[in-house]
Amino acid sequence: MSTAAATAGERTGRAKPATMAQALGRALRDSMAEDPTVHVLGEDVGTLGGVFRVTDGLAKEFGDERCTDTPLAEAGILGAAVGMAMYGLRPVVEMQFDAFAYPAFEQLVSHVAKMRNRTGGAMPLPITVRVPYGGGIGGVEHHSDSSEAYYMATPGLHVVMPATVDDAYGLLRESIASDDPVVFLEPKRLYWSKADWSPDAPAPVEPIGRAVVRRPGRSATLITYGPSLPVCLEAAEAATAEGWDLEVVDLRSLVPFDDETVAASVRRTGRAVVVHESSGFGGPGGEIAARVTERCFHHLEAPVLRVAGFDIPYPPPMQERHHLPGVDRVLDAVARLQWEAES
């Protein structure tokens, strides 16, 4: 987002259409303006403004030392961020694409996630790792991975994923302000999604770790996050034709996981489908289904089902629509929630 656009937004003070990418950029800008220890670093984040233009204007406004084009080496970027955080800075690291973040995996798992714990709380690392996430943008190989399960399985990390323009701003501000490390997954296919948004008066956001009911309903609960939220909302609208009134829960954060909101919804509806584009086997849906079953067993009318990406390497762009969970696949799952017991 350009600074000029942000200023224009401030002047009018009125909500107007903004993209998720712009809201993310504004969150970075406001965090940097508010806290001089916030530093942005990554590949092409400076002069270019990032390949998705999320960091556009930051180097110009705050200088190269605050928004730094680094050498092209993800482990080095995150490793350097660890050292910067050790010295009291608050680094925000951009990984260019989800599948390009893997070289940094050792730094993330062995140091970022563990430093607070291994120093008995003496040295927390307030690092935010921004990762453009998932598919659906026609990206060629290695540009569309769903990597959240790896991060979820690593104690010490928070894993956050916005699905709306408001949340993109609010959750990123919260993540940067957090003294814990946060893996902040940005759904690529929602970067250009728009909403009326007022940059000078963004909606208040609860602390990281709170899910939200995006659509109340009585028949069944769709539990989802990130890029699958619009899919679920569309499915819920379509489901009304079948007489189903679906509730849609947006998790917003996978770690911490909001058992309370999820379980309360499923207890109300008695049925649940978990929807995500990450592969199903070993994916978040299995964990979520288990947690729901453990807490809501006596309220359940049917097994908790999962709608997920297939257990295949992410397909070439001309085939990706077959892989990504769509409205029909969600509705098929809803149809299998043992409604015959109702009649």
Partner 1 sequence: MTVQELPGAAAYRPTPPPAWKPLTDPAPLLPDPEPFRVLGTDAAADADPELLLRLYAELVRGRRYNAQATALTKQGRLAVYPSSTGQEACEIAAALVLEDRDWLFPSYRDTLAAVARGLDPVEALTLLRGDRHTGYDPREHRIAPLCTPLATQLPHAVGLAHAARLKGDDVVALAMVGDGGTSEGDFHEALNFAAVWRAPVVFLVQNNGFAISVPLAKQTAAPSLAHKAVGYGMPGRLVDGNDAAAMHQVLSEAVARARRGEGPTLVEAVTYRMDAHTNADDATRYRGDSEVETWRAHDPIVLLERELTGRGLLDEDGMTAVREEAERMAEGLREQMNADPVLDPMDLFSHVYEEQTGQLREQADQLRVELDAEHGPHDGHGAEGVR
Nearer to partner 1, 107 or 219 (CB): 107
Nearer to partner 1, 221 or 261 (CB): 261
Write the binding mask 225 to 264 for partner 1: x where contact by CB under 8 A, - elsewhere.
Answer: ------------------------------xxxxxx----
CB atoms within 10 A of CB 89: 19
* Among 6-14, 122-130, 274-282, 305-313, the segment contacting partner 1 (CB under 8 A): 122-130
Angle at which helix 20-34 crosses helix 165-177, to 10 degrees, equals: 30
Cis peptide before 256 (omega within 30 of 0): yes
Residue closest to 115 by CA, chosen among 67, 87, 82: 82
| Per annotation, catalytic residue among 39, 111, 142, 143 | 143
Out of 19, 107, 175, 193, which residue is the one contacting partner 1 (CB under 8 A)?
107
* Helix, strand, coil percent content, the chain, rounded in steps of 5: 40, 20, 40
Q: Output the smallest distance, CB 7 to partner 1, in A.
A: 27
Q: Output the smallest distance, CB 256 to partner 1, in A.
A: 4
Asked if residue 8 binds partner 1 (CB under 8 A), the reply is: no
Q: Output the smallest distance, CB 100 to partner 1, in A.
A: 14
Measured CA to CA, the distance from residue 215 to residue 239 in angstroms comes to 13
* Among 8-16, 63-71, 239-247, 277-285, the segment contacting partner 1 (CB under 8 A): 63-71
**The two structure tokens encoding residue 149:** 């399960």
Rg (alpha carbons) of the chain, rounded to whole number: 20
Nearer to partner 1, 18 or 104 (CB): 104
Out of 15, 60, 124, 332, which residue is the one contacting partner 1 (CB under 8 A)?
124
**The two structure tokens encoding residue 69:** 């084009």
Q: Output the smallest distance, CB 182 to partner 1, in A.
A: 11
Amino acid identity for residue 137 in this structure = I
Amino acid identity for residue 328 in this structure = D
**Residue 143 is a catalytic residue:** yes
Asked if residue 315 binds partner 1 (CB under 8 A), the reply is: no
Q: Output the smallest distance, CB 179 to partner 1, in A.
A: 5
Out of 13, 83, 138, 316, which residue is the one contacting partner 1 (CB under 8 A)?
83
Q: Encode 281-311: b = buried (16+ Cβ within 10 Å), e = exposed.
A: eebbbbbbbebbeebbeeebebebbbbbbee
248 contacts 225 by C-beta, under 8 angstroms = no
Residue closest to 187 by CA, chosen among 254, 136, 249: 136
Measured CA to CA, the distance from residue 28 to residue 340 in angstroms comes to 51
Asked if residue 297 binds partner 1 (CB under 8 A), the reply is: no
Residue closest to 172 by CA, chosen among 21, 315, 68, 333: 21
Asked if residue 84 binds partner 1 (CB under 8 A), the reply is: yes
The DSSP secondary-structure symbol of 206 reads P
Residues in 129-188 that interact with partner 1 by CB under 8 A = 155-156, 158, 178-180
112 contacts 79 by C-beta, under 8 angstroms = no
Asked if residue 286 binds partner 1 (CB under 8 A), the reply is: no
Asked if residue 75 binds partner 1 (CB under 8 A), the reply is: yes
Out of 2, 195, 200, 209, which residue is the one contacting partner 1 (CB under 8 A)?
209
Chain residues that interact with partner 1, rule: CB under 8 A: 39, 65, 70-71, 73, 75-76, 78-89, 91, 103, 106-107, 110-111, 114-124, 155-156, 158, 178-180, 209, 255-260
Residues with a catalytic annotation lie at 143
